[in-house]
C-alpha cells in the first residue's frame, strides 16, 4: 500500500510509479488552464491528467513549460497523462492522434497514454473536440476494433514516446480481449468510481490482473451533466455525516473512498484552497464499516449517463 502522504504513489506493472492523487482537467476551459495547472503544481500535484478531447492540452503544455523554466519542478518529477480521442481509434490514425497531443503539450514523451474509450467515432478533419453531424450527434464508427488500436499504441512504448499505455472506460471483457494480444500490458484503467457507482467487480478484476485503477468523477457528476432531480453525491446525508465524524469535508471523504480501495484519484478544482484540501486525504483512514456504508450507496449506474447515451448503440458500448 502506498505511503500515507501527499506524494503517495502506486506502482504500475511496468515498475513505474504513478502519484496516487492527480490533478484532473476535464472541463477546465483553455483560458483557465495555464493558471490552474500552475496553481496545482504549486500546491504539490505532480500527476496531471488531460485528454485531446478536453481541448486544453496546449495550455497545459504551456503551464508545464513555464513551471519547468521557473525551476519549480523538473520534467522527470511530473507524471503527465493524456488520451487517444475516439476519432483516432482507427489504427492508421493512432500515431496522428498521439502526435497531435504531444505537439500541443510541447513534450518529448508522456508518462501514460490511455485509449479514452473503446467506442470509435468517424474521423473528421474539423474534429475539435469531437466530430458531430449537423444535428450535433456523434457519428459512431462500428468498424474499428479497439484491439487493433491497442497494437498501434504499443509502438509508442517501443519508441519511448509513451512510457506506459492503458485504457479508459473499458469493461472486464474488453480488457480481457486486450490482454490476450498485448505485448505491452495495459497498466491502468481510468473509470468512474464513487459510492453511487462503486464498480466493485471491475475494480477487483483490474487489480487482480495488475492493472491500477484511476477513479474519475469521484465527487459525482459535473454539474452540467445533472438535472435538478439527480442525487448530489457531495450532499448525500451518509457522506456529510461521515465528514462530521472524521472532521473532514465531504469531498475529502469521497476522495478517500477510492484511495482506501487502492485506486488513484484525479479531482479537479480551480480554487487553490480546494486543490490543497483535496490532497489532504492521506493522514486519515476510513474504517472498514464506513467503507461498507459508502459501498451500500451504490446505484450501479453511471452518474454520467447523459454523456454515455451518445454511445449506447455502439457495439463496443462498455456498460453491458
- Write the CA distances from 126 to 123, 130, 131, 258, integer angstroms: 9, 9, 7, 37
How many Å separate Cα 248 from the centre of its chain? 24
pTM of the model: 0.96
* Total structural domains within the chain: 1
User: How far apart are the C-alpha atoms of 87 and 122, rounded to whole Å?
Assistant: 6
Residue 128 domain-assigned (yes or no) = yes
- Asked whether residue 246 is assigned to any structural domain, the reply reads yes
257 labelled catalytic: no
Helix (H/G/I), strand (E/B), else coil: 235: helix
Distances (CA, A) of 111 to 41, 72, 105, 162, 320: 16, 19, 12, 6, 30
Cα–Cα nearest to 204, from 263, 124, 147, 252: 263
- 54-58, 214-218, 220-224, 313-317: which range is least confident on average? 220-224
Is 6's pLDDT higher than 60? no
> Looking at residues 292-304, what average pLDDT do you find?
95
Asked if residue 92 has pLDDT above 60, the reply is: yes
What pLDDT, on the 0 to 100 scale, is given for residue 2?
Answer: 35
Is beta strand 188-192 parallel, antiparallel or unpaired with respect to 264-265? unpaired
Selected catalytic residue, list 54, 88, 113, 146: 54
Q: Is the pLDDT of residue 5 over 60?
A: no
CA nearest neighbour of 179 among 204, 208, 214, 147: 147
Q: Of all residues in the chain, what percent carry a pLDDT higher than 90?
A: 86
Domain of 67, CATH number, reads: 3.20.20.100
Residue 191 to residue 21: CA distance in whole angstroms: 15
Task: Tell me, yes or no, whether 138 lies in a domain.
Answer: yes
Which residues neighbour 32 within 8 Å (Cβ) at sequence distance 6 or greater? 270
Mean pLDDT for 104-109 is 98
Of 105-119, 120-134, 151-165, 233-247, minimum mean pLDDT range: 120-134
Could you say which DSSP state residue 230 is in? Answer: S
- pLDDT tens-digit profile of 234-256? 999 999 999 999 999 999 999 99
| Within a domain: 256 | yes
Task: State how far Cα 282 lies from the chain centre.
Answer: 20
Residue 57 lies in a domain: yes
Percentage of the residues of the chain whose pLDDT score is greater than 70: 97
Per-state percent for the chain, helix, strand, coil, to nearest 5: 40, 15, 45
Q: Is residue 2 part of a domain?
A: no
* For range 193-221, the mean pLDDT: 97
Note whether residue 48 is domain-resident.
Answer: yes
Full residue range of the structural domain in which residue 104 is found: 17-311
Rounded to the nearest integer, the mean pLDDT of the chain is 94
Dihedral Cα 128, 129, 133, 135, nearest 10 deg: -130
8 A C-beta contact, residue 157 and residue 164:
yes
Instruction: Answer whether residue 85 shows pLDDT above 60.
Output: yes
CA angle 176, 202, 219 (to 5 degrees): 140
Q: Residue 247 domain-assigned?
A: yes
Name, in order, each residue with C-beta under 8 angstroms of 292's C-beta and a sequence gap of 6 or more.
Answer: none
Amino acid at each position: 500500500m502506498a505511503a500515507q502522504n501527499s506524494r503517495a504513489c502506486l506502482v504500475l506493472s511496468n515498475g513505474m510509479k504513478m502519484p496516487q492523487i492527480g490533478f484532473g482537467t476535464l472541463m477546465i476551459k483553455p483560458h483557465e488552464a495555464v493558471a490552474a495547472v500552475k496553481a496545482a503544481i504549486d500546491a504539490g500535484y505532480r500527476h496531471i491528467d488531460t485528454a485531446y478531447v478536453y481541448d486544453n492540452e496546449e495550455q497545459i503544455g504551456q503551464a508545464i513549460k513555464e513551471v519547468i523554466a521557473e525551476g519549480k519542478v523538473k520534467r522527470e518529477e511530473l507524471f503527465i497523462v493524456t488520451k487517444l480521442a475516439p476519432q483516432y481509434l482507427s489504427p492508421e490514425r493512432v500515431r496522428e492522434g498521439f502526435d497531435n497531443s504531444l505537439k500541443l503539450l510541447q513534450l518529448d514523451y508522456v508518462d501514460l497514454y490511455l485509449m479514452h474509450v473503446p467506442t470509435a467515432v468517424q474521423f473528421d478533419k474539423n474534429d475539435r473536440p469531437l466530430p458531430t453531424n449537423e444535428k450535433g450527434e456523434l457519428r459512431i464508427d462500428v468498424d474499428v476494433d479497439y484491439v487493433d488500436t491497442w497494437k498501434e499504441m504499443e509502438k509508442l512504448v517501443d519508441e519511448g514516446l509513451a512510457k506506459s499505455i492503458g485504457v479508459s472506460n473499458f469493461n472486464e471483457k474488453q480488457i480481457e480481449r486486450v490482454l490476450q494480444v498485448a505485448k505491452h500490458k495495459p497498466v491502468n484503467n481510468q473509470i468512474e468510481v464513487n459510492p453511487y457507482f462503486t464498480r466493485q467487480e471491475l475494480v477487483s478484476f483490474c487489480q487482480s490482473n495488475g492493472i491500477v485503477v484511476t477513479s474519475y468523477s469521484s465527487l459525482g457528476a459535473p454539474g452540467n451533466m445533472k438535472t435538478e432531480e439527480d442525487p448530489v453525491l457531495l450532499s448525500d446525508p451518509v457522506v456529510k455525516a461521515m465528514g462530521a465524524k472524521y472532521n473532514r469535508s465531504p469531498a475529502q471523504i469521497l476522495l478517500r473512498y477510492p484511495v482506501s480501495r487502492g485506486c488513484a484519484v484525479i479531482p479537479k478544482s480551480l480554487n487553490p484552497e480546494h486543490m490543497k484540501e483535496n490532497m489532504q486525504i492521506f493522514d486519515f483512514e476510513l474504517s472498514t464499516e464506513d467503507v461498507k456504508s459508502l459501498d451500500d450507496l451504490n446505484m450501479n449506474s453511471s452518474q454520467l449517463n447523459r454523456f454515455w447515451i451518445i454511445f449506447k448503440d455502439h457495439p463496443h458500448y462498455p456498460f453491458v
